[in-house]
Amino acid sequence: MEVERSATSSSRGPNKFISWPRFLYVAEEILNREYEVEWGGRVYRLRPVKAWILQPPGKPGVVVALFRLPDGRTVRRVIMRLPP
């Protein structure tokens, strides 16, 4: 017996996440914005090289980003907190 699946449903249940076009817009917004990063007593205005969501089960999440400093070092910083 075959089960017919619609294009909007998945095997994990209803989609509770942001739709892809909206998610890509938000991701682009995060990566194109400059943030103040403090390192070694100096403050830099930098754009993130990479960003991702870190959300342990049952806890509110955060958006973590990698920044490349002018001296070549790479640092991680939390740039945004997500609602629970």
> In this structure, what DSSP letter does residue 14 have?
S
Q: Write out the two tokens for 16.
A: 């509770």
Share of the chain above pLDDT 70, in %: 69
Domain ranges for the chain, please list them.
20-81
The whole model's pTM is what?
0.65
Where do we find the tokens 């909206």?
Answer: 22
- Pick from 16, 19, 51: which is nearest to 35 by CA? 51
Average pLDDT over residues 18-30: 61
**Which CATH architecture is the domain 20-81 placed in?**
Roll (2.30)
Q: At 44, is the secondary structure helix, strand, or coil?
A: strand
pLDDT given for residue 10 in this prediction: 44
Q: Look at residue 57 in the predicted model and tell me its pLDDT.
A: 87
pLDDT band at 8 (very low <50, low <70, confident <90, very high): very low
